[in-house]
Structure 1
Amino acid sequence: MLKCILVVGAMLACAGAARAQAIDPALYVVRDADSTMYLYGTVHVRPAGADWGDAEVRAALAETQEIWTEIEISPAVEARGQALARRYGMAPPGKTLSSSLSADENARLQALTRRLGIPASALEPMQPWLAGLTLTIVPIMQAGFSPTSGVDRFVDGYGDQHGKTMRALETVEDQLGFLANLSPELQRQMLREAIDEAADGPAMLAEMTRAWDRGDDDALARLVVDDTRVSYPELYDVLFVRRNNAWMETLTQELAGAGVDFVAVGGGHIVGEDGLVAQFRARGFSVERVR
């Protein structure tokens, strides 16, 4: 599950020093008679200085009138997200994080917070889902990954600099609501696995990043999607199926018009049997991989 928690943490954060290197990320194009829509799977957190797109990606953006991201990317939305995380992510009065864990699990949590330099008291009022994400995000940030280097932010910045119309597929309220409404048992499972596996997070995220860099959709599906679908069906349904289905309704309506759009969403939403590429093909659209 840690790989999936990493995806969630990276979504909301909306190994070693980065080195400039050639990247070859996957880019798809959906077409009908009078519309073109590029689909670009992204990585939400990257090492500082990492590239975000090659010449073909930039050419597709230059052609585009409207750019779609998962949520609006702005300081105001980030501030609202932080406030909502405090609202949705705090336990009811009298309920503590430690009460969700056994004595042995609490001991492991204390050891982990000491290693990470997090005051254990800061986690105590949190719901298990938020504590699990916090324990997952901190090590990857300490390893040099940053949401400010995420591909989505660079795409958004390109749009702002070039006067593109920016659109969002969902709100930060939607994203946090998905997590806050997970079943209590799944939340506790996320927390327990974060406690035991958080140290592995940077290496796992680096592996996902390498798959994205080389445009390896099969590896990305295996790393991000497949294990979650088989082992954690509730989480898979919440994170991928429901959101992808909702986005498809919005995007197919957009294709009913005319023009060129560019859709930049997490890579796990592009690949796999429930991903956007498969769903567009199932609906009869022409879908080609540009690179």
Structure 2
Amino acid sequence: MRIRPLSQSLAATVLAIGLSFAASAAESAGTATEPPVQPDASASAPVPLLWQVSDDDNTVYLLGAFHLLKAADYPLSADVDAAFEDAERLVFEVSPEQIDDPSNTAKFLQAAGYADGGKLSDVLPSPTYDRLATVMGGAGLPMAAFDRFEPWFVSLSLLMGMAQPLGFSGEQGLDRHLMVRAREAGKPASGLETLEHQLGVLDGAPMDEQVIGLTELVEAPEEAARKLDELHAAWRGGDIEALERLAIDEMKEKTPETYRTVNVERNQAWLPQLRGMLDEAGEDDVMVVVGAMHLAGDDGLIEGLREAGYRVERICSACAAD
């Protein structure tokens, strides 16, 4: 039996539920996208990954996002709408101001380059490089345009190219949608970390894992597309256990260093900030929107807040109706 390395699905996980900036930047750095389709009012709302965390006077609504979504994923659940209305402010992985900075594409491309002046052809095995050139040629893209970029960037670009024809878009991601709503409602919005930090996480992936991931992607692109569909279906169904299985278990086993930097270290940096929102004086309620992967598992934010002694309850009318 052929075992599929985790790294093949890592790009899908990062784009979809791991790093908010990756979806936006990969889309901006690639080819032009179609205008977002209007939401389908007849579509069923996704089951929300929404938790209420509270102490004696404050509430944090913790919402698990999918960074690439489709028009059919809207409108959102009434539970999400109610939490949004109750929140005085919103907090995202990266602030809307940084996400909308017009210089982001240049920063993304700079981070994707080789600090030592290397080339993609220097790090990829020849068969992989030749196969990639064939894939790029079939898409009408010159291979020379990608030779100056590291494998992680090429993987994300390829996956974004696969995701767009399936209807996925970073502009339709849950975090982007709520950023727009917050601005329209006049609600303040901030970030848990900087754009530069997220770029560092992307660029810091071990080179051998980057190479394995890109090799698997060009050899079996249908597997990455299938993985994205599986993650999306689990998110739409509000299935936190399936997301843990798909996005965390294999990563912890096969690429523990990547799991540590993408998930564990960032969760550990965010927990004190969440506790500060709960412990501060006053009665301001906050909606915190992060990739769904950060909520799941023993290393997730939900478990971390439970262990800290806060009341943690899931808000899910659809779950109660089952």
- With the length of structure 2 as denominator, give the TM-score of the two structures: 0.84
Q: 5 Å matches for 1:21-32?
A: 21-32=44-55
In structure 1, stretches of 5+ residues that fail to align are none
Q: 5 Å matches for 1:228-247?
A: 228-247=251-270
State the Cα RMSD in Å. 2.0
- Are 2:227 and 1:204 equivalent residues in the alignment? yes
- Percent identical pairs in the alignment equals 30
Per the TM alignment, residue 158 of structure 1 is displaced from its structure 2 partner at its CA by: 1.5
**Which is worse superposed, 143-152 or 17-26?**
17-26
1:165 maps to which residue? Answer: 188
Listed one character per residue, the Cα deviations across residues 163-188 of structure 1 (whole Å, up to 9, x for unaligned) are 11101011111100112122222222
Q: Distance in 2 between matches of 1:144 and 1:234?
A: 32
1:13 maps to which residue? Answer: 23
The one-letter code matched in structure 1 to 2:257 is E
Q: Give the total of aligned pairs.
A: 289
Per the TM alignment, residue 83 of structure 1 is displaced from its structure 2 partner at its CA by: 1.4
Per the TM alignment, residue 52 of structure 1 is displaced from its structure 2 partner at its CA by: 5.4
Q: Distance in 2 between matches of 1:9 and 1:122?
A: 22
Q: CA 1:86–1:191 in 2, change beyond 3 Å: closer, same or farther? A: same
Q: Distance in 2 between matches of 1:287 and 1:51?
A: 26
Q: Distance in 2 between matches of 1:126 and 1:101?
A: 11
Listed one character per residue, the Cα deviations across residues 70-92 of structure 1 (whole Å, up to 9, x for unaligned) are 11235864533211112111124
Listed one character per residue, the Cα deviations across residues 142-181 of structure 1 (whole Å, up to 9, x for unaligned) are 3221111111111111211111110101111110011212
The one-letter code matched in structure 2 to 1:276 is L
Q: CA 1:275–1:150 in 2, change beyond 3 Å: closer, same or farther? A: same
2, 5, 10: which is aligned to 1:4?
A: 10
The one-letter code matched in structure 2 to 1:132 is S
2:67 maps to which residue? Answer: 44
The one-letter code matched in structure 1 to 2:312 is V
Q: Distance in 2 between matches of 1:8 and 1:32?
A: 32
2:312 maps to which residue? Answer: 287
Matched-pair contact (CA < 8 Å) for 1:116–1:139? no
2:215 maps to which residue? Answer: 192
Listed one character per residue, the Cα deviations across residues 215-244 of structure 1 (whole Å, up to 9, x for unaligned) are 111111111111111111011001000111
The one-letter code matched in structure 1 to 2:67 is H
Q: 5 Å matches for 1:12-161?
A: 12-14=22-24, 20-51=43-74, 53-74=76-97, 77-92=100-115, 94-161=117-184
Q: Distance in 1 between matches of 2:223 and 2:68?
A: 16
Matched-pair contact (CA < 8 Å) for 1:52–1:154? no
* SS of residue paired to 2:312: strand
Q: Distance in 1 between matches of 2:277 and 2:98?
A: 27
